[in-house]
Amino acid sequence: MSYIKCNPNWPLDKFLTLLSQDKILKPPGFPEYDANKDWCGPADNPKLAEMIPEKLLGVSVSVAGYRHDLHYAMGKRLRPRWCRPQYIWRLLCDQRFRADLMTLVKRSNLNKADMKLAKRFAKMYYWAVRLGGWKHCER
């Protein structure tokens, strides 16, 4: 089977399609997506992971967390050539995480006021990842 290197510029739907077709190159041992698993928060710090939400006002953001974890787990050789440096890769992964959060919130059936609040939470979530995620991204 031919695998494709993951591109953080792919919109969420393209990523999900390629993921469902098992066409994305993943690091050895990286698990398959499981909607019942908590993908939001660091796996090496259960206490911190417990504090990090997997839902924003009831909207599951688990798939965004999975994609972000997958991207962070990719070392240089698994990245497209144009974005191999770690600082560029991490920025793109974090920005994609924010975009995925926004997509999931926009597709939800939240009322207008809750939608606005969920978008604010998504932005705060993004900044928390930007500030604390540096030590979890492969070099």
The answer on pLDDT for 13 being more than 70 is: yes
Residue 56 has a pLDDT of: 95
CA 33 to chain centre: 12
The whole model's pTM is what? 0.91
Residue type, 76: K
Least confident of 34-38, 82-86, 133-137: 133-137
- For residues 85 and 138, give the distance between their C-alpha atoms in angstroms, rounded to a whole number: 10
Strands (E) across 6-62 are located at 55-56, 59-60
Q: What are the backbone dihedrals phi and psi of residue 4, each rounded to the nearest 5 degrees, phi first?
A: -115, 135
Q: What is the pLDDT of residue 19?
A: 94
Does 32 score more than 70 pLDDT?
yes
Residues 21-40, mean pLDDT to the nearest whole number? 91
Q: Provide mean pLDDT across the span 27-40.
A: 90
Cα 55 to chain centroid distance, Å, stands at 13
**Per residue in 54-63, pLDDT tens?**
999 999 999 9
Residue 121, both tokens? 């939470």
82 vs 100: CA distance, rounded Å:
22
Could you report the per-residue pLDDT of 80-123, keeping only the tens digit for each? 888 888 889 999 999 999 999 999 999 999 999 999 999 999 99
pLDDT score, position 1: 66
